[in-house]
Amino acid sequence: MLARARENVGWPLLGILVLLGLAPLVVTEVSMRSVLVVAMIYAIGAVGLDVLTGYSGQFSFGQFVYFAIGAYVMSSLREFGGVPWPAALVIGVTAAGAVAALVASALVRLRFFGSAVGTFFLGAVAVDLLSGKRLEQWTGGSNGLVAPPVSLGGIDLSSGMGLYFGALLALTASALVCLRYTRTRAGIASRVIKQNEVVAAVMGIRVVREKVRAHVLAGSVAGLGGCMLAINLGYLSPETFHVTHSIMLFGIVVVGGLGSIGGPIVGSVFFFVATYALSLMYDGVSELFFALILLAIVIFFNGGLYDLGERVARLVRTLAGPSLPSRAGRAGGGPGSPAGAAAGRDARGAGEPQASGGPDGAKVIRGASDDVLLRLEDLTVQFGGVKALDGVSLDVRRGEVHAIIGPNGAGKTTLLNSISGVQAPSSGTIVLNGRPLGNLSVSSRRKLGISRTFQHPSLVGDLDVLGNVAIGAYESHDGTVWTELAGTRRKRRLQRRARARAVAALERLEFPRARWHVLADDITMGEQKHVDIARAMGGEPTLLLLDEPTAGLGTEEIASVAKAIRTVRDSGVSILVIAHHVGFVRQVADRCTVLDFGKVLVCETPGQVLQDPRVKEVFMGTGSRR
């Protein structure tokens, strides 16, 4: 994607806001101050757009629709309804959020270009509607609408210092809300979606809802920006909300630096100050200048101004003294680790009775042919004329490790996709625990106890190991933006429990604690596979589906994954694992099914299977097969 999403952005953000607060001491020129006011007002919407794009991976080229809604609702309520301005402002923001919810729930389902084209379209349509006759009664049409000045306790908020600090206050509120959101479950879940939607869905994340939530947040703060814009301008006309401004806003976020919350504020200040300075010297080149900067940044320097700042800060730190680089510092154990350890101990205590019942019981019944956990009957998956699976019947017994082997294109991953609900079968039944799964969704199957991993782990690279596992360990991904932000008791409990489950899963796999706070981008392939298994374990499954957990690993790493799989089995979980490595299959599997061209060739113990002449034919091509 565009750039990584950052976590430790609180202090830089505070610094930027304090600098803006102190700016009037230095900037005494009135016109320059009003430039800063406009910059801050754009920044209110820009930080929301950063949550949407930088953290959630979605695009919006129409945020000024929500600016317009905030501004027009607030102004026309005051003008025609006589509503006092604070109430009108709240209603304006709410209206923007509500429309964002409505719009987003339609747009995020679009398959081809997500919300990018839809929001762009909407931006243009909104301007047409505002200038047309249909809404003239409330919006004043192309003549515009007056936004009367506001004041609070005798302080004029529409001009001078009152306006400046009013805008700063609104920006601070918007930035803090957005910052908080990125730290909630919803914010982190968004980053999984940004990484890979299918993986997110398998982890129980409600992809559509989570995307809509990000839109609602971004729309609401853009609505607040619109209200401030109305207060600042005193007069609204449709041109103020032209779709070009939406694209500019997007450009501001990219120039400032995606995924940093503070960056877009810097971008906005940079944009308006630079264009103001340029307009003093030359006429009309400011847009050209900005477009060039934007293009240069997207082509050569993805991270934007914030990233530039980070690099300078790092350079200064290394020059100042021989201290550890920042990532190693994080790896040493962030502030979260002691708390995490404590939670881990709790979880172990709580989980003990259940876990101790697991392994012993499992050992006894393992291999008992009548205790079937998962049964596939005559499963067929067809892609056009190709049958990826052709009448596959097999069962997974409680507490066993069942390996699936077969040449490329045999339908192994399709089999896992059908069981986990990613791929709907053309015919046949899948029965878990005596219950037919029918066409249950991915998330419902997860609730019934099916977890899976992927051939390519798809961890969130800019999130640490523990965070990656924890986001897979939530019991519920329901809620609204506002309950997330408020951090209700239920939300906090869910978060505590997810963290405890994550700690338990990592401890069970004996993942070294020193590596828990390393970013997933910085760990080895073998570690990624472990983290992926731990993440799937976080859902406390009864059936774990592993898609080639050994692909691309060396001998030692394979042995370590084999050990992890045995540990998981001993805790009472049944495992269906796709494998390529014969030694690995011998090590871990109780039974082994061979797939070839979508059909079950044979299903026996690994020793028997690997002796079977038909299997030798399939894998080594000895003799004529058909």
Partner 1 sequence: MLALSVIISGIAFGLVIGLLSFVLVFLNKTTGVANFAAGNIGMFETFIVYRIYLYQGDAYVAAGLGLALSVLFGALLYLVVLRPFSSAGTANILVRTVALYLLLAAMANVFFGKQQPYTFPTLLPKGGASLGGIVIAWSDLISVGLVVAIGALFVAMFRFTDLGLQFLAVAQQAPIARLLGVRVGRLSAIAYMIAGPLALLIGLLMAPKQLLFSQMMDPILLYAFAAAVVGGFTSLLGTFAGGIVIGVVTNLVSTYLGGDLALASALAIMLVTLAVRPNGLFGTAQVARL
> Within 10 A of 18 (CB to CB), how many other CB atoms are there?
10
Between 34 and 244, CB nearer to partner 1? 244
For CA atoms 128, 129, 130, 136, the dihedral sign is positive
| Helices (H) then strands (E): counts for the chain | 26, 14
Q: How far is CA 11 from CA 169, 184, 336, in A?
A: 17, 18, 17
Map residues 278-297 to x or -, x wherever contact with partner 1 holds by CB under 8 A: ------xx-xx-xxx-xx--
Interface with partner 1 includes 551 (CB under 8 A)? no
Among 250, 306, 511, 516, binds partner 1 (CB under 8 A): 250
Distance between CA atoms of residues 259 and 55, nearest Å:
6
Q: Distance between alpha carbon 477 and the CA centroid of its chain, in Å? A: 12
Of 8-16, 93-101, 246-254, 573-581, the segment contacting partner 1 by CB under 8 A is 246-254
- Radius of gyration over every alpha carbon of the chain, rounded to an integer in angstroms: 28
Using CB under 8 A, count the residues that bind partner 1. Answer: 54
Distance between CA atoms of residues 13 and 565, nearest Å:
43
Interface with partner 1 includes 426 (CB under 8 A)? no
Among 101, 124, 169, 308, binds partner 1 (CB under 8 A): 124
DSSP state of 51: I
Between 242 and 501, CB nearer to partner 1? 242
Least Å from the CB of residue 129 to partner 1: 6
CA-based nearest residue to 559, from 583, 578, 575: 583
CB within 8 A of 338, min separation 6: which ones?
none
Q: Quick one: tokens of 228?
A: 């401030």
Interface with partner 1 includes 134 (CB under 8 A)? yes
Interface with partner 1 includes 146 (CB under 8 A)? no
Interface with partner 1 includes 602 (CB under 8 A)? no
Among 23, 298, 308, 582, binds partner 1 (CB under 8 A): 298
Least Å from the CB of residue 163 to partner 1: 29
CB within 8 A of 388, min separation 6: which ones?
381, 382, 411, 414, 598
Interface with partner 1 includes 64 (CB under 8 A)? no
Among 42, 55, 61, 511, binds partner 1 (CB under 8 A): 61
> Within 10 A of 232 (CB to CB), how many other CB atoms are there?
20
DSSP state of 516: T
Of 57-65, 306-314, 512-520, 563-571, the segment contacting partner 1 by CB under 8 A is 57-65
Q: Quick one: tokens of 311?
A: 């690099």
Least Å from the CB of residue 305 to partner 1: 15
Interface with partner 1 includes 235 (CB under 8 A)? no
Interface with partner 1 includes 273 (CB under 8 A)? no
Interface with partner 1 includes 121 (CB under 8 A)? yes
Interface with partner 1 includes 129 (CB under 8 A)? yes
Among 84, 132, 148, 367, binds partner 1 (CB under 8 A): 132
Distance between CA atoms of residues 421 and 91, nearest Å:
42
Q: Distance between alpha carbon 182 and the CA centroid of its chain, in Å? A: 9
Between 110 and 514, CB nearer to partner 1? 110
What residue ranges bind partner 1 (CB under 8 A)? 1-2, 57, 59, 61, 106, 109-113, 116-118, 120-122, 124-125, 128-129, 131-134, 198, 243-244, 247-248, 250-251, 254, 284-285, 287-288, 290-292, 294-295, 298-300, 302, 383, 413, 417, 422, 454-456, 547
